[in-house]
Structure 1
Amino acid sequence: MPEFKIPLRQYAGLLRHYLRSQRRSIIALSALLIAGLIMQLVNPQFIRYFIDSAQGAESNRALWIAAGLFIGVSLLQQIVTVGATYISENIGWIATNKLRGDVAEHCLGLDMSFHKSHTTGAIIERVDGDINTLANFFSNFVITLVSNLLLVVGILILLYREGWLVGIGMTFFVVAAIYSIQYIRKFAVPHWGKLRQISADFFGFLGEHLEGTEDTRANGASGFVMHKFHTLLRTWLPIRVRAFLGWAAMWITTLVVFTIGNAIAFALSAYLWHKGAISIGTVYMIFYYTELMAKPIEKIRTQMEDLQKADASIVRIRQLLDTQPAVRDGIGTPIPGGPLAVTFDDVTFSYESGKATLDGIDFHLEKGQVLGLLGRTGSGKTTLARLMLRFYDIQQGEIRLGGVPIRDTRLRELRGRIGMVTQNIEIFQGTVRDNLTFYDTSIPDERMIRVLNELGLDSWLSSLPQGLDSTLESGGGGLSAGEAQLLAFARVFLTDPGLVILDEASSRLDPATEQLLEAAVTKLLRERTCIIIAHRLATVQRADRILILDNGRISEFGDREALAADPDSRFSRMLAAGMEEMLV
């Protein structure tokens, strides 16, 4: 059975990195915990004094003093505990949020091959679920562990002061307790790792099918989905049981050890009291310290339990953070402004080892021109567009924009100079402004309104109760397909790209909306290069050049008017037979 082994330097590295900015809070927490520790050690002395004074005191003054001190220290200890809890929760929240942000940012920077091989739910489980288990690890793990160990040491020192026999007996109890807990812990750790993994798999499956619930019901696949749902739950249950048994074994071991500790304290106290070596107040104090010792040992046990959960989570988070994107940032060669020329130089690409999706693609599109990209479904049209955005890297050849190899540019700059509109539009929960600008506050409202007007959305915008501040529903609820598509066009043109890619962008539009879009696009494509991926003949009428793909290879490339006039060209035959029929 595999066991997680996290090097101590990884623990230390995480704590140092994410707690560095909270030094004052950590110092305050340490001071409060030490103050609480001292009060826990002192209070049993008051009890002993109270009991011994009650047996032989002629007045109640000493009793009142002892009782007052005990109550006062107890109340103060509770106040200190509340303060320490408040500070530790803040520390944990801030640290885990920072880690959560780093992991989320790292996931957003990974290439499409990673996101294709990991479901959304599985990624969310890592970003949220695994990091949640580290909250206690960040908030007070080291400080609490050290303070509890110091409390145990302090109790042992005080017990040795009462007699070496008591001290040795309690030392044996502590060593046996900590050894037993640590021994049991190593059997439970692997099960927590498996539990986190099956949890990620389950939520990944659930998120995927909840997102596609309409297709599931429309195609009668609800039974299959529920069967898979129950299969995952049946797989989850035994793993959860084994993880729970690991926790239960630690808990039962602690109870047994505490019982042994009480027995040792009872036997030693009875022996010493019968010999007259200790008073009845000291007997009670020994029992009090024994009970008090159970608390830090119990805390150490729960800390070990949290540590075993942290072991599994740290492994998974570290694996995620160590995952490097296949697409690396370039050296920073700038892309020229204005419309961009597009060059594919003997480009070959495949998603996996095997048949190439694109094979030997070689063409040049002058800046400011419009390319009509045609081909049957699966011919590689959308893949070609993704390669220009470097969602994937090619295995052979070179792609240049404005004469600059795209591998040499920064990804942020590259994707800022290319605007892409697909037939599947993502509308996010947020205002119209946020959906248009993706939270870029540098874009003025006047420019957004001007672009919306040019796209014919002025009447739609004026119908919204709060204009640009109106909230849109996630997934585009409340918007027609045409309105969502036009909003996607507005997003692209607000970024002022040098190259625009329209991937079946008008396939969901009704004829009236498509006509409106055509007029707006004609105006907005001025001084820009454009690639139009289309199935319909009308869509490529504005193209200067035509490129036809067939099974990942260029079947035909040339001037649209020349190809249309050539009766032997494939494009001419498409026009004669009806392009839609030939591309099916």
Structure 2
Amino acid sequence: MSNEKETGKAFDFKLFKRVFEKTRPYRVLFYSVALIAILLSAFSVLTPILIGDIVDGAITNKNAERLLYLVLAMLGVLIGEVTCQLLFTYFANLLGESVIKDVRIELFKKIIGFKMKYFDTSSIGVLVTRAVADMQRIGEIFSQGFFVIVADLLKMLVVAVIMLVMNWKLALIVFAILPVILYATRLFQQAMKSAFIEVRAQVANLNSFVQERIAGMKIVQLFNRERIEKEKFRRINEKHQNAWLRTVWYNSIFFAVAELLAAVSVGLIVWFGGLQNVAGVAPDEYGDIFTFILFSGMLFRPLRQIADKFNTLQMGMVAANRVFKILDTESQIQDGGTIEKPQIKGDLRFDKVHFGYVADEEVLHGISFDVKAGQTIAIVGATGAGKSTIINLLNRFYEINSGQILVDDIDIQQYSLKSLRSHIAVVLQDVFLFADTIANNISLKDESVTVTQIEEAAKQIGVHEFISSLPEGYQYNVKERGTMLSSGQRQLIAFLRAYVSNPSILVLDEATSSVDTYSEQLIQRATEKITEGRTSIIIAHRLATIKKADKILVMDSGNIVEMGTHKELLKSDGYYRDLYEAQFMAEELV
């Protein structure tokens, strides 16, 4: 994702329009900021005019009363300008934060609806960058970009008109410098466009690298990868630094050139204005020189600021382009089903199901089997045989290539996703827990599930004693990914989470692997309890855990090669018997 192509345009008006469509719910706020920007421009140009009047009308004529009047007028203008600046800053930032709040919610809603395939090929660090850092850049379009640019352009226009009216000769001297600085500004904007694209790409790469290494820190340290990862980080960080230094270099050149041209403009005003007064061409108009010096600053300074704010605007647009690419991504499971059932029996049937994660590379080759409501079916096979794929397809994390999956004789595509998944609970081998309390990890903050219900369920499956032994019981915070608990304890929490949801179909995916003997005994008791009266699918590596299953499916390379009960499969000289004997012998040797 970090290498995605960007538009080569210095400014993309189509993208700009799309960003501003997000302000529609805040039209009153938008127009208020625009009005304040106009008032701010008006107040700012009054001060140089008053100073010129003070020089010519009060100081030169020694008129103390007029001097007091003009100074008070300047005080009023200052108060008005400060008030407008305060309101402008607050409301512009309020508009920006309101827009990114809406866009962030829209983005998160989009992300949580993506197919699992999207996450298989996407960097989590990059997605985090889009949802956090890039959002702030979009907000800056309004708080530091667009409105500031509009206010400055308006100010420049008013200043230019007043200068022409006051003294067109001095005005033309100032205007002679404008084409040069405008050309320099244009070159600067084009250079910064490409520089900012590189900056955002390197920020995303840096975030992705750091996120992955922190998440996998145990592996880094176990395999003594600290020095190697440090060197990788140094190179990535250096690229990030160089990308930013490129923007600093362009800024350094541009602002130096802009300051030089502004200084030349002031020098020409003083020289030509002074000559006019010395020659008597413009008698008693010394105030014009002071006014034009201030006006030239108001004309050139906004140009420098506009270039800087245009950078902010461009960075926001680059960020918006990246965010909109995610919003425009079509990777959702089609939720066109209309059937919503409060209860289902739990009959399950796979009918000639073909599926592949990659085109032209099938993982399942037309498998068929059925499970009656209340039955327990076990699926065994070597790694990569397609066992977990069956579970992914049942939950519609992926779409099948052909065939049918039916629940209660209804194609699962006819159910709404919410209804389908509400009847299925899955306990995975790698249990994910959020940085929250045990109670919230079990209920997933479902307000209809009370702590009393959780405790009662825990007692029924035999894990209440374990949870109560923790420092704060059900309110114990397990921290990120449940690191405060052992793998066996996390499995027990996952079992309780599944049991509380009261599913009609229960899936246990390698749920007893990699746990200690004590935890396995608890899990076995929990398994017997939660599988009572509901359709259960157990994917197991340890065959001793599935002897009581009503049916066992043996898979190999995406095909069901054997099917039957434990005793039936042992009687035949096939794959399951070989697998069982090999495992039994291995355990005996241990």
Select between 392-401 and 259-268 the one with higher mean Cα deviation.
Answer: 259-268
Contact 2:202 2:240 in 1 (8 A): yes
Contact 1:373 1:548 in 2 (8 A): yes
Contact 2:123 2:208 in 1 (8 A): yes
Q: Distance in 1 between matches of 2:223 and 2:134?
A: 35
Q: Distance in 2 between matches of 1:314 and 1:56?
A: 56
Match of 1:417 among 423, 438, 441: 423
Tell me by how many angstroms 1:454 deviates.
Answer: 1.8
Select between 467-476 and 412-421 the one with higher mean Cα deviation.
Answer: 467-476
Q: Distance in 2 between matches of 1:557 and 1:416?
A: 29
Q: Distance in 2 between matches of 1:61 and 1:26?
A: 43
TM-score, structure 1 normalization = 0.92
Match of 1:211 in 2: 215
Q: Distance in 2 between matches of 1:255 and 1:434?
A: 59
Are residue 30 (structure 1) and residue 30 (structure 2) matched?
Answer: no
Tell me by how many angstroms 1:271 deviates.
Answer: 4.1
SS at match of 1:301: helix
Q: Distance in 2 between matches of 1:34 and 1:2?
A: 32
Q: Deviations over 1:401-427 (max 9, x none)?
A: 222222333323222221111121111
SS at match of 2:365: strand
Residue type of the alignment partner of 1:568: D
Q: Distance in 2 between matches of 1:267 and 1:501?
A: 87
CA RMSD of aligned residues (A): 2.6
Contact 2:353 2:403 in 1 (8 A): yes
Tell me by how many angstroms 1:3 deviates.
Answer: 1.6
Contact 2:266 2:296 in 1 (8 A): yes
Tell me by how many angstroms 1:369 deviates.
Answer: 0.9
Tell me by how many angstroms 1:5 deviates.
Answer: 5.9
SS at match of 1:134: helix
Q: Distance in 2 between matches of 1:406 and 1:250?
A: 62
Match of 1:133 among 127, 137, 162: 137
Match of 2:573 among 561, 568, 574: 568
Tell me by how many angstroms 1:492 deviates.
Answer: 1.6
Match of 2:445 in 1: 439
Q: Distance in 1 between matches of 2:78 and 2:299?
A: 17
Match of 1:472 in 2: 478
Matches for 1:213-232 after TM superposition, within 5 Å: 213-232=217-236
Q: Any unmatched runs of 5+ in structure 1?
A: none
Matches for 1:256-295 after TM superposition, within 5 Å: 256-274=260-278, 275-277=280-282, 279-295=285-301
Tell me by how many angstroms 1:537 deviates.
Answer: 2.5
Residue type of the alignment partner of 1:215: I
Q: Deviations over 1:343-380 (max 9, x none)?
A: 22222222224542222211111121111111112212
Q: Distance in 1 between matches of 2:516 and 2:214?
A: 28
Match of 2:192 in 1: 188
Residue type of the alignment partner of 1:535: H
Match of 1:74 in 2: 78
Tell me by how many angstroms 1:236 deviates.
Answer: 3.4
Tell me by how many angstroms 1:272 deviates.
Answer: 3.4
Aligned residue pairs: how many? Answer: 580
Are residue 338 (structure 1) and residue 340 (structure 2) matched?
Answer: no
Q: Distance in 1 between matches of 2:509 and 2:579?
A: 20
Contact 1:269 1:286 in 2 (8 A): no
SS at match of 1:425: coil
Q: Deviations over 1:122-155 (max 9, x none)?
A: 1111222222222220335333222211111111
Select between 524-533 and 467-476 the one with higher mean Cα deviation.
Answer: 467-476
The alpha-carbon distance between structure 1 residues 5 and 579, as it changes in their structure 2 partners (threshold 3 A), is farther
Tell me by how many angstroms 1:561 deviates.
Answer: 4.3
% identical equivalent positions:
23
Tell me by how many angstroms 1:543 deviates.
Answer: 0.9
Tell me by how many angstroms 1:167 deviates.
Answer: 3.2
The alpha-carbon distance between structure 1 residues 256 and 542, as it changes in their structure 2 partners (threshold 3 A), is farther
Tell me by how many angstroms 1:289 deviates.
Answer: 1.0
Are residue 302 (structure 1) and residue 304 (structure 2) matched?
Answer: no
The alpha-carbon distance between structure 1 residues 57 and 480, as it changes in their structure 2 partners (threshold 3 A), is same
Contact 1:331 1:408 in 2 (8 A): yes
Residue type of the alignment partner of 1:352: V
Matches for 1:110-509 after TM superposition, within 5 Å: 110-139=114-143, 141-274=145-278, 275-277=280-282, 279-325=285-331, 327-334=333-340, 337-353=343-359, 355-463=361-469, 467-509=473-515
Q: Distance in 2 between matches of 1:539 and 1:201?
A: 44
Match of 2:3 in 1: none
Residue type of the alignment partner of 2:336: G
The alpha-carbon distance between structure 1 residues 251 and 494, as it changes in their structure 2 partners (threshold 3 A), is farther
Are residue 13 (structure 1) and residue 18 (structure 2) matched?
Answer: yes
TM-score, structure 2 normalization = 0.91
Q: Deviations over 1:299-321 (max 9, x none)?
A: 31122111221232222222222
Match of 1:3 among 3, 8, 11: 8
Tell me by how many angstroms 1:14 deviates.
Answer: 1.6
Select between 7-16 and 465-474 the one with higher mean Cα deviation.
Answer: 465-474
Q: Deviations over 1:83-138 (max 9, x none)?
A: 32122222222222222222222222212222121221111112222222222203
Q: Deviations over 1:21-52 (max 9, x none)?
A: 32333333333332222211111222122212
Tell me by how many angstroms 1:470 deviates.
Answer: 4.0
